[in-house]
Amino acid sequence: MPAVSKTQQRRDPLDTVADQVIAVCDGDPRAAVRALIVAKGLLEAELEDICAATSKGYTRGRRTGRARD
């Protein structure tokens, strides 16, 4: 089994995911950023659909946009 350096063991998971996204985009960081922006937009649209479909009775009495004290 090959030795793993301490820097490889402590690597930030976000760096690993960022490298994977760039690799999927053939090493083009600009394409990776564009892909992430598109994915974010799709997730926001899905969240809006879910919020619109949520029963108003279920959300009654809940404060939106703020954390509970």
Residue 52 lies inside a defined structural domain of this protein: yes
Give the pLDDT score at 68: 52
Domain containing 37 equals 13-56
Report the C-alpha gap between 20 and 11 in whole angstroms.
14
Residue 64 lies inside a defined structural domain of this protein: no
Residue 50 lies inside a defined structural domain of this protein: yes
Residue 32 lies inside a defined structural domain of this protein: yes
Which ranges constitute the DSSP H helices of 1-69? 6-9, 13-24, 29-53, 56-59
Number of domain units in the chain: 1
Over residues 11-45, the pLDDT tens digits come to 899 999 999 999 999 999 999 999 999 999 999 99
Over residues 42-67, the pLDDT tens digits come to 999 999 999 888 877 766 666 666 55
At residue 69 the predicted structure's pLDDT band, cuts being 50, 70 and 90, is very low
Give the pLDDT score at 45: 96
Report the C-alpha gap between 44 and 47 in whole angstroms.
5
Give the pLDDT score at 55: 75
